[in-house]
Amino acid sequence: MTEATIMIPDNINLKKVSDEIVYKAFNIAIRKKKKEIERELKRVETKIRKFEKKYKRDLEEFEREMGDSLKEHDDWMDWSFLVETQKQLASEKQNFPEV
């Protein structure tokens, strides 16, 4: 669990700020970040599908059978980066609580 510190301007009366308001603010921030991750994950997965369609195989198969051409090597670098990014984003998404 990560501890968060909130800086509140002096002109805001803390006695008027209830726990419920702070809770709602955190929920809004969490939902927004989760949606950003989901949008990026969708974008990455679309690009991965384009490579899978182009080569008619997944990355593992492509790695076993790829040739020595510069184009295939460039595609492999881009594709493998996308797959790693997909794994990281999926992991990040799972770490968010349901709100």
pLDDT digits (tens, 9 = 90+) for 26-67: 889 889 999 999 999 999 999 999 999 999 999 999 999 998
On average, the pLDDT of the chain sits at: 88
Judge whether 55 and 62 are in contact, CB under 8 Å. Answer: yes
User: How far apart are the C-alpha atoms of 58 and 62, rounded to whole Å?
Assistant: 6
Does 89 map to a domain?
yes
- Does 99 score more than 70 pLDDT? no
- Provide the domain count of the chain: 1
User: How far apart are the C-alpha atoms of 45 and 22, rounded to whole Å?
Assistant: 34
pLDDT of res. 20? 76
- Does 72 score more than 90 pLDDT? yes
Does 67 map to a domain?
yes
User: How far apart are the C-alpha atoms of 28 and 33, rounded to whole Å?
Assistant: 9
Does 13 map to a domain?
no
pLDDT of res. 14? 62
Does 58 map to a domain?
yes
Share of the chain above pLDDT 90, in %: 59
**Residue range of the domain that includes 83:** 18-94
Does 76 map to a domain?
yes
Judge whether 93 and 36 are in contact, CB under 8 Å. Answer: no
Alpha helix positions (H), the chain: 19-55, 59-65, 70-94
Rounded to an integer, the average pLDDT of 21-30 is: 85
What is the rounded (10 degree) CA torsion for 88, 93, 97, 98? -170
Does 8 map to a domain?
no
Does 82 map to a domain?
yes
pTM of the model as a whole: 0.76
